[in-house]
Amino acid sequence: MKIQLTLCCLLLTAVCLAQNFEGVIKWSVTTDITDPKLKAQMAEAQKKMNDPATQAQMKEMQERMNDPQFKTMMESNPQMKAQMENALKMMQGGDMNSMMPSGFTLKVKDGNSLTKMEGGMMSGTETLYLKDKNQSYLINRESKTYTVLPHYDEQSKTVNDNVKVTKTSETQKILNYNCTKTIVAVTEGGKSINQIFWTTTEIKNLDFKSLSSQKVGKSTHAMFYNSIEGVPLKTEIVTPEMKMVMQVTEIKKETVASSLFVVPAGFTETKLPGQH
């Protein structure tokens, strides 16, 4: 599932890199587990979570987290505290589906963007992109922490041999915009990942190609964005394990406060696993 979430983040970044657009874009996210083995594992995990004994353990852990001494210890590690509270909340709910995102909201101004995830293990997490620095940050307001997301300057400007882009003549209307279907087939780690983009050229000041110039990671897969015309209003990501669909539900041009597009003062910097 990490691959799908990574691709989702790339898509968010792509949509956000608008030239002159200012406003809010809302997306819905639906996930369907298609692999029988994975589906069975999730069903078993959910069964265990619903077990009275497990729920009792969760209640005991909650009480421990409310203990003054434990609270003091957790205050020294706000990131871990936020992660534990989020995980505990989902586990107490007994619903494995709650671990997957349900949507996200983009706020865009002057080429900067702020993306807030809804639902899932990253609920409430925000991704900030600052155009003047060409830098993205992961922000957790609850734990008052931020992480500088890595990027690499050595990316190739060409599409990898394991990425195939096919533009079709198939069309679909989304939010009254005419969208055309483009299929991107990616082979990664011996697995096939198909991404289907429904894009429109009818929205002014939104540019999908600009992601190709942003250094988002070691992979050159992002280079295929330069081959796609228009703005994606719907994206389908299909792997052997699952299918994820992200679709725009609202595009609203409005004034967005400039104060949103800064790393909050007083927040503590944290590192990603393996990041130095």
Q: Which residue has the tokens 């004034």?
A: 255
For the chain, percent of residues with pLDDT exceeding 70: 68
* 60 C-beta neighbours (distance < 10 Å), count: 10
Question: Which range has the worst mean pLDDT, 51-55, 124-128, 152-156?
Answer: 152-156
For the segment 201-242, what is each residue's pLDDT rounded down to a tens digit? 898 777 655 544 444 444 444 555 667 788 889 999 888 888
User: Model pTM?
Assistant: 0.70
Tell me the pLDDT band of 262, cut-offs 50, 70 and 90: very high
Helix (H) or strand (E) holding 185: strand 177-188
Averaged pLDDT for residues 111-139: 85
Say which CATH topology domain 2-35+99-254 has. outer membrane lipoprotein receptor (LolB), chain A (2.50.20)
Tell me the pLDDT band of 198, cut-offs 50, 70 and 90: very high
List residues bridging with 138 in a β-sheet: 127, 147
pLDDT surpassing 70 at residue 77 = no
Question: Identity (one letter) of the amino acid at 192?
Answer: S
